């Protein structure tokens, strides 16, 4: 009788395990696993191979997706902190939904993103396709997000004008790299202060109200100029310290972009700036950055600058700022900027 019970238990365990394997195989196929393997083999020797993680590896890495490991969560999914078998710390993104009609595009982007090597773009280590929705595995960046730096400032720590310029330059540089240096242009589609880990850009595929290019509502097409618009909103956040969606009764001023453009039009720019910016930045620097943000927010995408042009202009502003600081340090006569070094 005992042997019979043990036999039944082993049989049930075997059947359960077999079902789990079949289910993983089903998910792997549905999520584009075969296509990814095909692309990886065709690119072998030329590019870094996209790492395919097993669901068991990521369950072990995140302590079975323990709630204590959650780094952040939102409408699109949850990000967990984990340790991979090779000792690397990773951020594992578990999405809520997957659009099966865009699986091929998803796989193509995963392959490309794995090849990206830029110091301000968060590295994509690989993915897991044998779960109901694909899991993306990124390098872990220990800094807080830019959103936290801007909107959760304290008296002990406030984000200086020099820091704001450095962040703007480095993030625009990362976007310019994605748009023009990779083998196939990559459009981020979700530029916002939450997806920027201080100066590192996390590659994602989605869009957020308040940052989303108004042209998208008419065309449903993302372009490189859609990223430029969203970056313009981030620039305005850095200038004003305000959130992308404002708590105001005025319907026309619900979006930070609209609020900022109205202030520019009515010559009230300096009334909407963050106190730290007013305290530290030169008037000419503020106006130059504000005019650049205004161009990025142009409703006509064709009239917006490219990210390469944005990076060049911001780099020039920051280079001049660094030169001024250097001259002040050397007791040379300069302007009246009181920006602290970062």
Q: In this structure, are strands 124-128 and 51-52 parallel, antiparallel, or unpaired?
A: parallel
Q: CB–CB of 98/133 below 8 Å?
A: yes
Distance CA 273, CA 154 (A): 17
Q: Which of 190, 197, 213, 324 is catalytic?
A: 190
CA distances from 156 to 146, 152, 153, 159, 272 (A): 17, 11, 8, 10, 23
Burial 86-104 (b: 16+ CB within 10 A, else e): eeeebbbbbbeebeeeebe
Which residue is associated with the tokens 């036999």?
7
DSSP letter, residue 210: T
Q: How far is CA 28 from CA 40, 126, 202, in A?
A: 15, 14, 24
Alpha-carbon distance 238 to 335, whole Å?
23
Q: Which two tokens stand for residue 52?
A: 């395919």
DSSP states of 85-123 as a string? Answer: TTS-EEEEEEES---GGGHHHHHHHHHHHHH---TTB--
CA atoms within 13 A on the CB side of 332: 8
Is 190 annotated as catalytic? yes
Phi and psi torsions of 206, nearest 5°: -175, -160
d(CA 85, CA 60): 9
Q: Whole-angstrom Cα distance, residue 53 to residue 85?
A: 11
Determine the number of helices (DSSP H) and then strands (DSSP E) in the chain. Answer: 12, 8
Active site amino acids: 190
């Amino acid at each position: 009788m005992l042997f019979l019970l043990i036999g039944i238990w082993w049989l049930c365990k075997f059947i359960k395990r077999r079902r789990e394997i079949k289910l993983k195989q089903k998910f792997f196929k549905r999520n584009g696993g075969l296509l990814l393997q095909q692309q990886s083999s065709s690119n072998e020797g030329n590019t870094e191979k996209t790492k395919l993680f097993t669901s068991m590896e990521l369950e072990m890495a995140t302590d079975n997706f323990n709630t204590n490991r959650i780094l952040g969560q939102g409408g699109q999914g949850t990000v967990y902190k984990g340790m991979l078998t090779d000792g690397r710390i990773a951020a594992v993104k578990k999405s809520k939904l997957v659009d099966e009609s865009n699986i091929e595009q998803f796989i193509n982007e995963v392959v490309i993103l794995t090849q990206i090597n830029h110091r301000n773009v968060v590295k994509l280590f690989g993915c897991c396709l044998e779960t109901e929705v694909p899991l993306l595995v990124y390098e872990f960046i220990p800094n807080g997000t830019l959103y936290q730096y801007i909107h959760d400032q304290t008296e002990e720590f406030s984000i200086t004008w020099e820091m704001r310029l450095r962040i703007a330059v480095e993030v625009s540089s990362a976007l310019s790299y994605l748009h023009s240096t990779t083998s196939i242009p990559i459009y981020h589609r979700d530029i916002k202060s939450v997806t920027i880990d201080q100066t590192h850009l996390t590659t994602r595929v989605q869009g957020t109200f308040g940052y989303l290019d108004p042209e998208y509502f008419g065309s449903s097409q993302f372009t490189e100029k859609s990223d430029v618009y969203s970056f313009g909103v981030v620039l305005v956040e850095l200038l004003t310290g305000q959130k992308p969606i404002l708590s105001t009764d005025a319907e026309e001023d619900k979006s930070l972009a609209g609020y900022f453009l109205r202030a520019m039009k009515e010559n009230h720019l300096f009334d909407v700036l963050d106190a730290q910016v007013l305290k530290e930045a030169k008037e000419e620097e503020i106006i130059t950055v504000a005019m650049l943000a205004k161009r990025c927010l142009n409703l006509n995408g064709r009239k917006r600058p490219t990210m390469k042009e944005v990076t060049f202009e911001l780099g020039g502003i920051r280079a001049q700022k660094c030169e001024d600081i250097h001259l002040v340090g050397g007791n040379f006569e300069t302007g009246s900027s009181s920006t602290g070094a970062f």
